Amino acid sequence: MTLQNNWSLTPIVLGNVDYLPTYEAMQAFTAARTTETPDQLWLCEHPSIYTQGLAGRAEHIFNAGQIPVVQTNRGGQVTYHGPGQVVAYPLLDLKRAGYFIKEYVYRIEEAVIRTLLHFGVTGHRVAGAPGIYVRLDDPGSHAVLAQRPKKIEQQPMKKDVIPDDVVVIPDDVVVIPGLTRDPWIADQVCNDNSKAQLKHNFVPADHHANPNFTDLGKIAALGIKVSRNCTYHGVALNVAMDLEPYTRINPCGYAGLRAVDLSTIGVSAAWQEVADVLGQKLASYLAP
């Protein structure tokens, strides 16, 4: 029986652990794994820390104060980790799982949405802004957001016929897998052969849209790294935190974006309870 059809992702709860050793352990695990290495899912929380992604800009941190700032190799901008936040690190072989980055991200977000639903909260996606958001005035509302991601039919196109609703991936910047240039994903660059095959692919134009965060709060942030088709970094879900450190940064690089947690919107839940539900949902939705 192969690892793929005997797939099981039992969460490993690390508890409260320092960020830097955990980051280094993810790198070491990913560098050492083979095609036979079982996937893992780590759940933890970290002492207060700001982490910068590869796209991170110093001006998005106003006043770090005594909170350390760590540069990482994940995609995205600055975010905050601290006590009362469930951080999930899926360490998956995407080639073995059988899906690309775009679907991987969708599955992670869906697991977070289902976790929030368990606690009576409706999570939303916002076009062009990865992560999960909630309505501040009515966290349980199922009303669809106007700025939700919209699917665009991708039809075969001649090289010189480009519709208005798509943007071309430049020939000199192509990444794999998943045909994506999303800045919150850090991935491998194609070699010349792969680049030649992908050079005329397209992505939806709303990838570059200006997100509208009116009346919304961000409750879960996402940033990932893919190396040799294997993932690390992951998603952080806010449970019951001191949210003041978020006011010292532009969360995920967005000025004025408000960060919230479950306790802010009236949900009283223990860290372990939320970790257990998120771990179960990730194990389910990341299955091949």
The CA-to-CA distance between both ends of the chain, in Å, stands at 15
Q: Which of 44, 190, 230, 252 is catalytic?
A: 252
What sign does the dihedral 28-31-37-42 (CA atoms) show? positive
Q: Which two tokens stand for residue 102?
A: 């775009």
What sign does the dihedral 264-265-270-275 (CA atoms) show? negative
Check: CB of residue 44 under 8 Å from CB of residue 13: yes
Secondary structure element (H or E) that encloses residue 237, with its range: strand 230-238
Instruction: Note if the bond before 130 is cis, omega within 30 degrees.
Output: no
* C-alpha dist (Å) from residue 36 to 39, 92, 250: 9, 12, 40
Check: CB of residue 249 under 8 Å from CB of residue 61: yes
Check: CB of residue 38 under 8 Å from CB of residue 10: no
* C-alpha dist (Å) from residue 20 to 26, 49, 61, 68: 10, 10, 19, 10
Q: Give dist(CA 73, CA 100) in Å, integer.
A: 20
Phi-psi region at 59: left, alpha or beta (left = phi > 0; alpha = psi -120 to 50): alpha
Active site residue 252: yes
Q: Among all residues, which ones are annotated catalytic?
A: 252
